[in-house]
Amino acid sequence: MRIASWNVNSIRQRLPHLTGWLKDAQPDVVCLQEIKCVDEAFPAAEIEALGYNVAVHGQKTFNGVAILSKHPFDEVKTRLPGNDDDEQARYIEAVISTASGALRVASIYLPNGNPVGTEKYPYKLGWMERLRLHISRLLALEEPFVMAGDYNIIPQAADAKNPAEWVNDALFLLQSRSKFRELLALGLTDAFRACEDAAGHYTFWDYQGGGWQRDNGIRIDHLLLSPQAASRLQGCAIDKAMRGQEKASDHVPIRCDLAL
Protein backbone atom coordinates (compact mmCIF):
# COMPACT_ATOMS: atom_id res chain seq x y z
CA MET A 1 0.00 0.00 0.00
CA ARG A 2 1.35 3.41 -1.00
CA ILE A 3 0.68 6.24 1.45
CA ALA A 4 1.61 9.81 0.58
CA SER A 5 1.56 13.30 2.03
CA TRP A 6 1.50 16.60 0.13
CA ASN A 7 1.05 20.21 1.15
CA VAL A 8 -0.61 21.39 -2.05
CA ASN A 9 -0.77 25.08 -1.04
CA SER A 10 -4.32 25.61 -2.42
CA ILE A 11 -6.20 22.66 -3.86
CA ARG A 12 -8.00 24.79 -6.43
CA GLN A 13 -4.78 26.21 -7.83
CA ARG A 14 -2.98 22.86 -7.81
CA LEU A 15 -5.79 20.53 -8.93
CA PRO A 16 -4.20 19.75 -12.35
CA HIS A 17 -0.91 18.97 -10.59
CA LEU A 18 -2.69 16.73 -8.09
CA THR A 19 -4.78 14.76 -10.56
CA GLY A 20 -1.79 14.24 -12.87
CA TRP A 21 0.33 13.02 -9.98
CA LEU A 22 -2.42 10.70 -8.72
CA LYS A 23 -2.52 9.05 -12.15
CA ASP A 24 1.25 8.68 -12.30
CA ALA A 25 2.15 7.73 -8.72
CA GLN A 26 -0.98 5.67 -8.00
CA PRO A 27 -1.00 6.19 -4.23
CA ASP A 28 -3.59 4.26 -2.24
CA VAL A 29 -3.93 6.94 0.42
CA VAL A 30 -3.02 10.63 0.18
CA CYS A 31 -2.90 13.13 3.03
CA LEU A 32 -3.23 16.72 1.83
CA GLN A 33 -2.47 19.93 3.71
CA GLU A 34 -3.14 23.62 3.11
CA ILE A 35 -6.11 22.95 0.86
CA LYS A 36 -7.26 26.53 1.66
CA CYS A 37 -10.97 26.02 1.09
CA VAL A 38 -14.13 25.12 2.96
CA ASP A 39 -15.45 21.57 2.69
CA GLU A 40 -18.10 22.48 0.12
CA ALA A 41 -15.52 24.04 -2.23
CA PHE A 42 -13.23 21.01 -2.27
CA PRO A 43 -13.10 19.49 -5.80
CA ALA A 44 -14.33 16.10 -4.63
CA ALA A 45 -15.96 15.11 -7.93
CA GLU A 46 -12.73 15.37 -9.91
CA ILE A 47 -10.85 13.27 -7.36
CA GLU A 48 -13.62 10.73 -6.87
CA ALA A 49 -13.60 10.22 -10.64
CA LEU A 50 -10.08 8.80 -10.21
CA GLY A 51 -11.34 6.17 -7.76
CA TYR A 52 -10.77 7.90 -4.43
CA ASN A 53 -12.98 8.37 -1.41
CA VAL A 54 -12.61 11.85 0.06
CA ALA A 55 -12.63 13.15 3.65
CA VAL A 56 -12.16 16.89 4.17
CA HIS A 57 -11.68 19.26 7.08
CA GLY A 58 -11.49 22.67 5.47
CA GLN A 59 -11.26 26.32 6.41
CA LYS A 60 -11.84 29.42 4.32
CA THR A 61 -8.63 30.88 2.84
CA PHE A 62 -6.24 29.24 5.33
CA ASN A 63 -5.10 25.80 6.51
CA GLY A 64 -7.36 22.83 5.70
CA VAL A 65 -6.53 19.13 5.49
CA ALA A 66 -7.93 16.14 3.62
CA ILE A 67 -7.48 12.40 3.14
CA LEU A 68 -8.00 10.60 -0.16
CA SER A 69 -8.31 6.83 -0.13
CA LYS A 70 -8.92 4.10 -2.68
CA HIS A 71 -10.26 2.04 0.23
CA PRO A 72 -13.42 2.73 2.26
CA PHE A 73 -13.31 4.88 5.39
CA ASP A 74 -14.47 3.05 8.51
CA GLU A 75 -14.44 6.27 10.51
CA VAL A 76 -13.28 9.87 10.17
CA LYS A 77 -12.43 12.32 12.95
CA THR A 78 -11.56 15.98 12.63
CA ARG A 79 -9.68 18.20 15.07
CA LEU A 80 -6.80 17.24 17.30
CA PRO A 81 -7.98 16.48 20.86
CA GLY A 82 -6.96 18.67 23.76
CA ASN A 83 -8.30 22.15 22.95
CA ASP A 84 -11.96 22.58 22.06
CA ASP A 85 -11.38 26.30 21.40
CA ASP A 86 -8.91 25.66 18.58
CA GLU A 87 -10.83 26.30 15.36
CA GLN A 88 -7.91 25.99 12.95
CA ALA A 89 -8.38 23.13 10.47
CA ARG A 90 -5.07 21.33 10.91
CA TYR A 91 -5.92 17.70 11.64
CA ILE A 92 -8.01 14.91 10.18
CA GLU A 93 -7.79 11.20 11.03
CA ALA A 94 -9.35 8.20 9.35
CA VAL A 95 -9.47 4.44 9.79
CA ILE A 96 -9.25 2.67 6.43
CA SER A 97 -10.14 -0.92 5.62
CA THR A 98 -7.45 -2.89 3.83
CA ALA A 99 -7.15 -6.52 2.75
CA SER A 100 -5.02 -7.26 5.82
CA GLY A 101 -7.01 -5.21 8.34
CA ALA A 102 -7.52 -1.65 9.46
CA LEU A 103 -5.00 1.16 8.97
CA ARG A 104 -5.24 4.48 10.77
CA VAL A 105 -3.98 7.56 8.90
CA ALA A 106 -3.82 11.20 9.94
CA SER A 107 -3.18 14.29 7.82
CA ILE A 108 -1.36 16.91 9.88
CA TYR A 109 -0.64 20.58 9.19
CA LEU A 110 1.42 21.58 12.18
CA PRO A 111 1.60 25.33 12.97
CA ASN A 112 4.53 27.24 11.54
CA GLY A 113 5.22 29.14 14.77
CA ASN A 114 6.75 32.27 13.29
CA PRO A 115 7.39 34.96 14.26
CA VAL A 116 9.04 33.61 17.39
CA GLY A 117 8.24 35.94 20.26
CA THR A 118 4.56 36.14 19.37
CA GLU A 119 1.66 33.95 20.48
CA LYS A 120 2.24 31.80 17.36
CA TYR A 121 5.25 29.98 18.82
CA PRO A 122 3.59 28.85 22.08
CA TYR A 123 0.63 27.73 19.95
CA LYS A 124 2.98 25.57 17.88
CA LEU A 125 4.55 23.98 20.95
CA GLY A 126 1.18 23.45 22.58
CA TRP A 127 -0.16 21.83 19.42
CA MET A 128 2.81 19.47 19.37
CA GLU A 129 2.19 18.49 22.98
CA ARG A 130 -1.45 17.75 22.16
CA LEU A 131 -0.23 15.63 19.25
CA ARG A 132 2.20 13.76 21.52
CA LEU A 133 -0.55 12.93 24.00
CA HIS A 134 -2.90 11.80 21.24
CA ILE A 135 -0.26 9.57 19.65
CA SER A 136 0.58 8.02 23.01
CA ARG A 137 -3.08 6.99 23.33
CA LEU A 138 -3.12 5.59 19.78
CA LEU A 139 0.01 3.55 20.42
CA ALA A 140 -1.82 1.72 23.19
CA LEU A 141 -4.14 0.31 20.50
CA GLU A 142 -1.15 -1.54 18.97
CA GLU A 143 -2.34 -0.98 15.40
CA PRO A 144 -0.59 0.24 12.25
CA PHE A 145 -0.92 3.97 11.76
CA VAL A 146 0.76 6.74 9.78
CA MET A 147 0.93 10.35 10.98
CA ALA A 148 1.53 12.10 7.66
CA GLY A 149 1.90 15.76 6.97
CA ASP A 150 3.63 19.09 6.97
CA TYR A 151 5.20 19.19 10.42
CA ASN A 152 6.96 22.54 9.89
CA ILE A 153 9.96 21.01 11.66
CA ILE A 154 13.49 20.61 10.28
CA PRO A 155 14.62 17.64 12.41
CA GLN A 156 18.39 17.86 11.84
CA ALA A 157 20.99 20.07 10.17
CA ALA A 158 21.21 17.45 7.41
CA ASP A 159 17.60 18.28 6.54
CA ALA A 160 18.47 21.81 5.35
CA LYS A 161 20.71 22.97 2.54
CA ASN A 162 21.89 25.92 4.65
CA PRO A 163 21.03 25.20 8.30
CA ALA A 164 22.64 28.46 9.46
CA GLU A 165 19.81 30.34 7.75
CA TRP A 166 17.28 28.68 10.06
CA VAL A 167 18.89 28.88 13.51
CA ASN A 168 16.45 31.52 14.77
CA ASP A 169 13.42 30.16 12.93
CA ALA A 170 10.55 28.35 14.67
CA LEU A 171 11.08 25.40 12.29
CA PHE A 172 14.60 24.77 13.59
CA LEU A 173 14.77 26.12 17.12
CA LEU A 174 16.08 23.58 19.63
CA GLN A 175 12.77 23.54 21.50
CA SER A 176 10.89 22.74 18.28
CA ARG A 177 13.24 19.92 17.36
CA SER A 178 13.10 18.58 20.89
CA LYS A 179 9.30 18.35 20.68
CA PHE A 180 9.67 16.44 17.40
CA ARG A 181 12.16 14.06 19.02
CA GLU A 182 9.62 13.47 21.78
CA LEU A 183 7.26 12.11 19.12
CA LEU A 184 9.93 9.73 17.86
CA ALA A 185 10.77 8.73 21.43
CA LEU A 186 7.25 7.39 21.80
CA GLY A 187 8.29 4.66 19.36
CA LEU A 188 7.49 6.25 16.01
CA THR A 189 9.70 5.84 12.94
CA ASP A 190 10.57 8.60 10.49
CA ALA A 191 9.89 6.62 7.31
CA PHE A 192 12.26 8.59 5.11
CA ARG A 193 15.21 8.43 7.50
CA ALA A 194 14.60 4.71 7.99
CA CYS A 195 15.35 4.32 4.28
CA GLU A 196 17.86 7.10 3.55
CA ASP A 197 20.71 8.50 5.68
CA ALA A 198 22.20 11.02 3.26
CA ALA A 199 21.75 14.78 3.44
CA GLY A 200 20.41 16.77 0.50
CA HIS A 201 16.85 15.48 0.44
CA TYR A 202 14.17 18.14 0.80
CA THR A 203 10.39 18.52 0.54
CA PHE A 204 10.08 22.33 0.52
CA TRP A 205 11.73 25.12 -1.45
CA ASP A 206 10.67 28.71 -0.74
CA TYR A 207 9.26 30.81 -3.56
CA GLN A 208 11.50 33.66 -2.39
CA GLY A 209 15.18 34.03 -3.14
CA GLY A 210 15.38 31.43 -5.89
CA GLY A 211 15.11 28.58 -3.43
CA TRP A 212 14.21 25.99 -6.06
CA GLN A 213 16.73 27.22 -8.62
CA ARG A 214 19.53 27.00 -6.02
CA ASP A 215 18.18 23.79 -4.48
CA ASN A 216 18.02 25.66 -1.18
CA GLY A 217 15.48 23.33 0.39
CA ILE A 218 14.44 21.86 3.72
CA ARG A 219 12.80 18.59 4.75
CA ILE A 220 9.70 19.43 6.80
CA ASP A 221 7.11 16.95 5.46
CA HIS A 222 7.24 13.66 7.32
CA LEU A 223 5.63 10.24 7.51
CA LEU A 224 5.80 8.97 11.08
CA LEU A 225 4.95 5.28 11.51
CA SER A 226 3.76 3.28 14.49
CA PRO A 227 5.82 0.15 15.22
CA GLN A 228 3.15 -2.01 13.54
CA ALA A 229 3.43 0.11 10.37
CA ALA A 230 7.22 0.49 10.52
CA SER A 231 7.68 -3.29 10.53
CA ARG A 232 5.97 -3.32 7.13
CA LEU A 233 7.90 -0.45 5.57
CA GLN A 234 9.26 -1.32 2.12
CA GLY A 235 10.52 2.05 0.92
CA CYS A 236 10.10 5.81 1.01
CA ALA A 237 10.62 8.47 -1.67
CA ILE A 238 10.26 12.20 -2.29
CA ASP A 239 8.77 13.22 -5.63
CA LYS A 240 11.13 16.17 -6.10
CA ALA A 241 10.32 16.68 -9.80
CA MET A 242 6.89 18.07 -8.90
CA ARG A 243 8.53 21.28 -7.65
CA GLY A 244 9.83 22.02 -11.12
CA GLN A 245 6.39 22.21 -12.71
CA GLU A 246 4.85 25.53 -13.70
CA LYS A 247 2.95 27.16 -10.81
CA ALA A 248 3.94 24.32 -8.50
CA SER A 249 3.33 24.12 -4.78
CA ASP A 250 6.36 25.04 -2.69
CA HIS A 251 6.12 21.51 -1.22
CA VAL A 252 6.40 18.16 -3.01
CA PRO A 253 4.82 14.78 -2.22
CA ILE A 254 6.52 12.29 0.04
CA ARG A 255 5.36 8.67 -0.04
CA CYS A 256 6.08 5.33 1.53
CA ASP A 257 5.14 1.77 0.64
CA LEU A 258 3.86 -0.59 3.32
CA ALA A 259 3.28 -4.33 2.99
CA LEU A 260 -0.42 -4.22 3.75
Task: Compute the C-alpha angle 123/90/8, nearest 5°.
Answer: 120
Spatial CB neighbours of 205, under 8 Å, sequence gap ≥ 6: 211, 212, 215, 216, 217, 243, 250
- Euclidean distance between the first and final Cα of the chain, in Å? 6
Q: How far, in Å, CA of 184 to CA of 46, rounded?
A: 36
Average pLDDT score over residue span 110-124: 98
Average pLDDT score over residue span 177-189: 98
Q: pTM, whole model, 2 decimals?
A: 0.98
Given 28, 52, 91, 109, the catalytic residue: 109
Binding positions for Mg(2+) are: 7, 34, 150, 152, 250-251
Cα atoms found within 13 Å of the Cα of residue 248, Cβ hemisphere only: 22
At 98, the pLDDT band (50, 70, 90 cuts) reads confident
| pLDDT of 101 above 90 | no
Q: Check if 150 is active-site.
A: yes
Cα atoms found within 13 Å of the Cα of residue 129, Cβ hemisphere only: 9
Extended strands (E) in the chain = 2-7, 29-33, 53-57, 65-69, 73-78, 91-98, 101-109, 145-150, 189-190, 204-205, 217-218, 221-225, 233-238, 254-258
Per residue in 29-47, pLDDT tens? 999 999 999 999 999 999 9
Given 17, 28, 57, 150, the catalytic residue: 150
Residue 63 has a CB neighbour count (10 Å cut-off) of 20
Given 71, 201, 222, 251, the catalytic residue: 251
Per residue in 61-87, pLDDT tens? 999 999 999 999 999 999 999 999 999
Binding positions are: 7, 34, 150, 152, 250-251
How many domains does one find in the chain?
Answer: 1
Nearest to 206 by CA among 174, 260, 162: 162
Q: Check if 24 is active-site.
A: no
Nearest to 152 by CA among 111, 199, 96, 97: 111
At 260, the pLDDT band (50, 70, 90 cuts) reads confident
Q: What is the pLDDT of residue 223?
A: 99
| pLDDT of 207 above 90 | yes
**3-class secondary structure per residue, 33-62:** ECCCCCHHHCCHHHHHCCCCEEEEECCCCC
Q: Any idea what DSSP says for residue 245?
A: S
Residue 142 has a CB neighbour count (10 Å cut-off) of 9
More confident residue, 184 or 100: 184
Q: What is the pLDDT of residue 160?
A: 98
Q: Say if residues 255 and 2 touch (Cβ distance below 8 Å).
A: yes
Q: Check if 109 is active-site.
A: yes
DSSP 195-215: H---S---SEE-TGGGTTTTT
CATH number for the domain that contains residue 120: 3.60.10.10
Domain range for 34 is 2-258
